[in-house]
Structure 1
Amino acid sequence: MSLYRTELRRLAKRRFARYMTLLGLLVLAAVLVGTFFTNQKIDDTVRAKADRQAEQQYEEQVRYAQQERASCEQDKAAGKADDTHRYPPDCAMIQPPPREAFESQWFLPSTFDFKESFAETLVPFAAILALVGFVVGASFVGAEWSTGGMMNLLLWRPRRLTVLLSKLAALLTGLLAVTLPAAVLWFAGFWAVGVFRGSTEKVTSGVWQSFALTGLRGVVLVLAATTVGFALASLGRHTAMALGGVVAVMVVGQFGLGILLEMAGAKFVEAWLLPTYALAWMQKKVTLQNWDACNATYTGECKPATFDVTWQHSSLLLGVGVVLILGVALWAMRRRDVS
């Protein structure tokens, strides 16, 4: 019997893996449904309503300005002292704002522009499935160690690295089997949101290619997070090792490091934090700003110093991290006693 197929069946039968995957998919479905019901298609009727609201807002400001100017003139005619400096020296200065200051677009409801907004939805898609993959990967191998199943398996197939890598291959296959259909449904779902609750105009083949590449990077992120969770749990021989390690890194390492860097006055603190690189991986580039370093322009405007974190930086960090953690787990599997 193939070890790989055996591990696939074992993964499919694990209740925790099924429930965790279902929970992640339900969260994604909730995001999609919430986006559908919180957006509205803009038509001529909606635009006309927004125009009326803008006109009403302008008329209210005109009436308010007239009342204030009349009150100002009455107080000055009566010789009342303006101790609170409510009015200007000349009451004629009280004028309503110009009509063009009230734009109709301010009163339009939220609408989903597929071309402009869909790329942003791929970030939570990848983040949620990466979390699911990390937890499922950690529990898949962690449970084997904690229950003694790994020792029994090695009696049947004593080649340690083959056993561990077969488990990892089955795990990644299972995650791909969930992630790829979910990605297709995600694209189709938000396209439907654009059709019925927004706009799908100007979506060219180049736009689709860009979305597809972003989605591919999201899949890679999911597989990387799954591998890291699997490797950490294997290294610690318990699911809690992976979960505790992440808590330590994110809370102690990242949060504490951020505070220390802020206190030390370091530039571009976010460049030292892992979420920045995950976001840069998905968005291709994240521009950090340092407002303490003001670069004055010839107009006197203050422009902050900037630093770009690109997807190339993220790919280097992501690749080295995954290879290092998995390599240590394989080394430990080969060298340590499994009893």
Structure 2
Amino acid sequence: MSLARAETRRLFRRRFTSVILIGVLLILAATVVGSFLSTQKVGPAQVASAKAEAERNYQEAVKMAAEEQQRCLEANPTNAAACQPWTPSQSDFDYTWYMPETFDLRAEYPDMIALLAVVLAAAGFLIGASFVGSEWNSGGMMNLLLWRPRRLQVLGTKLAVLLGWFTGLTLLLGALWTGAFTLIAQLRGTTEKMTPGVWQSFGLTGLRGIALVVVAAALGFALASLGRHTGMAMGALVGLGALQIGVYIMAQLGGAKYPEAWLGPAWIYGWIFKELELPNYNSCNYSSDGNCEPETFTLTWQTAGIGMAIITVLVVGASMWAMRRRDIT
């Protein structure tokens, strides 16, 4: 039996892998069902109802404003100038605010792609860490190296099997995810303005989502291999979160222009959605009408991608170096 086939069987026969994947499927299924049940198709009847609701609220506001002005005049009979209540305007009651929730595929599906990518990335990190961490902790890695003494080949094959299967799983679930939300949009929403360019944009966003899943799985695997225990990856994740919070607070206290740029979620957002604009309100410039126009820094997907690639190469490289140089026993 080839090493890759053996590692595939080992990966999917682990109870932890099954539990995590079942949990992922339940989360995704609940999201699809919830989106279907919480939205509805909008037609002329819904538009007419929303316009009637907007008009009714407008008339009530006009009545309340008149009553408030009357009470003010009674309280101040000699100072009518003090009684100038807010006068409602028809434009203040846009009927679209009263429309029922509907699913707009073009506007809302990018968020669904991000959700899928984040859920699978979390699963990839956990399964990757457990996959190799349990081997070290149980002594299985040492037994495996007795009949397959090539250390880097063994660890590299394990990593390749993990990343290959997670790439395939992400592609499969991504196709099902797209089909499900396209159906929801057709039955409970709208597919208007869905041009080939929009589908291409969805595809590129999906590719960045796959890359995020692969990076997360590789980092979980590499960290657990470095520490020779699943807990190493979990501890590193918790420690990184605490470190980021501390750095963010220190950056704020130190007067850094864009403290949010030190937070990992900002980089993930910039990677998935192509860019993230971070404002610096401390150096706010005021325009002639008094509105704040702060300086901004745009975190692009290219910058986020380079940062993710550097971290992944360093961590995975360190795990390979440790595999080759450190004592196995």
TM-score of the superposition, structure 1-length normalised?
0.93
**Which segment drifts farther, 169-178 or 224-233?**
169-178
Q: 1:164 and 2:176 equivalent?
A: no
Match of 2:57 in 1: 57
For structure 2, list consecutive stretches of 5 or more residues without a partner in the other structure: none
**What RMSD in Å do the two structures reach over aligned CA positions?**
1.5
Kindly name which structure, 1 or 2, has the bigger radius of gyration based on alpha carbons.
1
CA distance in 2, matches of 1:199, 1:88: 52
Distance 1:330 1:15 in 2: 26
Q: Which amino acid is the alignment partner of residue 29 of structure 1?
A: A
CA separation of 1:29 and 1:72: change in aligned 2, threshold 3 A: same
Paired residue type of 2:104: D
Q: Structure 1 CA distance, aligned partners of 2:262 and 2:274?
A: 17
Cα distance, 1:95 vs structure 2: 6.4
Choose from 181, 202, 216 the match for 1:190.
181
Stretch deviating more after TM superposition (27-36 or 308-317): 27-36
Structure 1 residue 220 displacement after superposition: 0.8
1:254 aligns with 2:225: no
Number of positions where the alignment pairs a residue of Structure 1 with one of Structure 2: 329
Query: For residue 152 of structure 1, what is the aligned residue in structure 2?
Result: 143
1:299-335, CA deviations, whole angstroms, 9 ceiling, x for partnerless residues?
A: 4432011000001111111111111101110000001
Contact kept? 2:130, 2:230, Cα under 8 Å: yes
Letter in 1 for 2:318: V
Tell me the residue number matched to 1:174: 165
Q: 1:88 and 1:8 mapped to 2: Cα distance?
A: 83
* Local SS of the residue matching 2:81: coil
Checking the alignment, whether the CA contact within 8 Å between 1:47 and 1:108 is kept in structure 2 is yes
C-alpha distance in 2 between matches for 1:202 and 1:278: 27
The counterpart of 2:317, out of the listed 305, 327, 334, is: 327
Q: Distance in 2 between matches of 1:239 and 1:104?
A: 54
- CA positional deviation for 1:123: 1.3
Task: State the 1:203 CA deviation.
Answer: 0.3
Q: Say yes or no: does 1:71 pair with 2:71.
A: yes
Give the direction of change, closer, same or farther, for the CA distance of 1:88–1:312 in structure 2 (3 Å limit): farther
Counterpart of 2:203 in 1: which secondary structure?
helix
Alpha carbons 1:88, 1:94 under 8 Å: kept: no
User: Structure 1 residues 94, 335: CA separation in 2 closer, same or farther (over 3 Å shift)?
Assistant: closer
Separation in structure 2 between the aligned mates of residue 100 and residue 258 of structure 1, nearest angstrom: 42
2:265 aligned residue (254, 265, 275): 275
Cα contact 1:138–1:229 (8 A) shared by 2? yes
* Residue matched to 2:81: 89
- Residue identity opposite 1:319 in structure 2: A
Give me the whole-angstrom Cα distance separating, in 1, the residues matched to 2:268 and 2:82.
57
Q: Is the 8 A contact 2:73 2:80 kept in 1?
A: no
Partner Cα distance (1:158, 1:335) in 2 = 14
2:307 is matched with: 317
Find the counterpart in structure 2 of residue 22 from structure 1.
Answer: 22
What letter matches 2:2 in structure 1?
A: S
Which residue of structure 2 aligns with residue 201 of structure 1?
Answer: 192
For residues 250 and 155 of structure 1, the distance between their equivalents in structure 2, rounded to whole angstroms, comes to 38
How far apart, in 2, do the equivalents of 1:70 and 1:274 lie? 56
Secondary structure of residue in 1 paired with 2:58:
helix
In structure 1, the partner of 2:107 is 116
Q: Counterparts in 2 of 1:117-132, with a 5 A limit?
A: 117-132=108-123
CA distance in 2, matches of 1:244, 1:50: 52
Structure 1 pair 90–332 and aligned structure 2 pair: CA distance change class (3 A): closer
**8 A contact 1:291–1:305 mirrored in 2:** yes
Instruction: Tell me what 2:275 maps to.
Output: 285
Matched, 1:47 2:39: no
The answer for unaligned runs of 5 or more in structure 1 is 80-86
CA shift for structure 1 position 94: 4.3
Deviation track 1:198-229 (CA, whole Å, cap 9, x = no partner) reads: 11011011100000010011011101100010
- Indicate how the Cα distance of structure 1 residues 281 and 158 shifts in structure 2: closer, same or farther if over 3 A, else same: same
Q: Counterpart of 2:293?
A: 303
Aligned residue among 75, 92, 95 for 1:101: 92
- Identify the match of residue 234 of structure 2 among 230, 233, 243: 243
Q: Which residue of 1 aligns with 2:254?
A: 264
Amino acid at match of 1:305: E
Deviates more, 1:226-235 or 1:272-281: 272-281
CA deviations over 1:129-181 (Å, ceiling 9, x no partner): 00000000000000000000001000010000000011111111221232111
Give the Å deviation of 1:90.
5.5
Letter in 1 for 2:81: P
Q: Which residue of 2 aligns with 1:83?
A: none
* Partner-residue secondary structure (3-state), 1:308: strand
Aligned-residue identity in percent: 45
CA distance in 1, matches of 2:311, 2:73: 72
Separation in 2, partners of 1:279, 1:76: 56
